[in-house]
Amino acid sequence: MSQTSDWPLPQGSLRYIIPQRLLKLLEKHPLTRELYPISFGHYHRARGHCMDRRLHDDELLIYCTEGEAEVFTGQQKLHIEAGDLLYLPSGEAHRYSTPDHNPWTIHWVHYTGPLSSYFRQYLGFSGNNRIINLGRQPRLLVDFNGLLSVQDSGFQEQPLIHASNRLRQLLTALPLSHKRPQIKHQTELNLEQLHQQMRNHLHSRLDLDSLAATAGLSRYHFIARYRQLTGETPIQHYLHMKIERACYLLDTGESSISSIAEQLGYEDSYYFSRLFKKVMGVSPGNYRRVNRY
């Protein structure tokens, strides 16, 4: 059972705990059994808030929008501040507290299910990383508040099934909520700047040395760091951006394949067609014919 803090709620805060009988339903229901919330809430200027969990059998995400806190987990002491997303995994004892002079404001959710471990990797919490700084993200607050829409529903089955799927929406959107999420204590890489450079050169050719120079890294370290953050090489991403643009040109105009290849910086239309088919699974001509109907 989740150990949710029984700390008294300040004004403007909300804590929602799903009853055990309904957790059993969510655990078995085909629409929720892979991932479902246990409890969630919003604490505003949570002065005096502290917790010490020795047994922790669910996943916990905390998004801090104001104030600060200290967290002890495993062998780490962490400092949380506004804009931080904190992840505390199942099975890891932890404790945290927020200072009276600058108490944190947080959105939080306890959740579980077989997909939890996959979401841990998807969110970017590998190894001992427990914090990702996202900055202030209004859209993220909308997704957290979407969970709280079940308030006053009378613990009915359908609203809680909806909340479970809102949780999946929240978790899948988190990596998209910031253009360049940065794991603390790692070398910074400005992905948005790099991707803008790629967008600016869709009509021409851009080599790896130019991208590495923008990042201020050697070719080797640039490729390794980029792959660590995105799961692909920078040139792969650049190619995919070009093919996305090619799809748009094929969908919205009557330009020939060779003309589109030229617009994307490829002098050899046959080479361009081979690249397109490798990414899309069909040739540019077949893509255009199939998607006109």
Q: Where are the alpha helices (DSSP H) in 124-207?
A: 138-147, 157-173, 191-200
* Residue 6 within any structural domain of the chain: no
User: Which of these three, 183, 218, 236, is where a domain ends?
Assistant: 183
My answer on whether 72 and 100 are in the same domain is yes
Sort 236 into a burial class: Cβ within 10 Å, 0-12 / 13-18 / 19+: middle
pLDDT tens-place string over residues 137-155: 888 888 999 998 888 888 8
* Residue 255 within any structural domain of the chain: yes
| Greatest CA separation for the chain | 69
* Residue 126 within any structural domain of the chain: yes
DSSP string, 179-214: SS-EETTS----HHHHHHHHHHTTTS---HHHHHHH
**260: nearest Cα among 238, 232, 279, 288:** 288
Specify the CATH number for the domain of residue 206.
1.10.10.60
Residue 236: give the domain boundaries: 191-290
Query: Is the pLDDT score of 183 beyond 80?
Result: no
Q: What does the pLDDT read at residue 184? A: 42
My answer on whether 156 and 93 are in the same domain is yes
pLDDT tens-place string over residues 230-257: 778 999 999 999 999 999 898 888 889 9
Lowest mean pLDDT among 30-44, 63-77, 166-180: 166-180
My answer on whether 118 and 257 are in the same domain is no
Give CA–CA dist 108/226, Å, rounded: 30
* Residue 122 within any structural domain of the chain: yes
pLDDT tens-place string over residues 257-267: 999 999 999 99
**What value does the mean pLDDT take over residues 59-75?**
94
Cross-strand bridge partners of residue 64: 106
- The total of other beta-carbon atoms located within 10 Å of residue 14's CB is 14
My answer on whether 81 and 125 are in the same domain is yes
My answer on whether 23 and 158 are in the same domain is yes
Higher pLDDT pick, 43 / 229:
43
The model scores a pTM over 0.85: no
78, 114 Cβ separation under 8 angstroms: no
My answer on whether 20 and 163 are in the same domain is yes
Average pLDDT, the chain: 88
My answer on whether 24 and 162 are in the same domain is yes
Q: What does the pLDDT read at residue 136? A: 81
My answer on whether 72 and 110 are in the same domain is yes
pLDDT tens-place string over residues 84-128: 999 999 999 999 999 999 999 999 999 999 999 999 989 988 788
pLDDT tens-place string over residues 193-230: 888 899 999 999 899 999 999 888 898 989 988 887 77
* Residue 3 within any structural domain of the chain: no
My answer on whether 86 and 174 are in the same domain is yes
pLDDT grade for 6, boundaries at 50, 70 and 90 = low
Which pair of tokens denotes residue 207? 């080599």
Which pair of tokens denotes residue 36? 């479902």
Specify the CATH number for the domain of residue 141.
2.60.120.280
User: Which of these three, 183, 206, 225, is where a domain ends?
Assistant: 183
* Residue 2 within any structural domain of the chain: no
My answer on whether 147 and 216 are in the same domain is no
User: Which of these three, 183, 204, 238, is where a domain ends?
Assistant: 183
My answer on whether 72 and 169 are in the same domain is yes
71, 115 Cβ separation under 8 angstroms: no
My answer on whether 151 and 226 are in the same domain is no
* Residue 4 within any structural domain of the chain: no
* Residue 1 within any structural domain of the chain: no
- For the chain, the domain total comes to 2
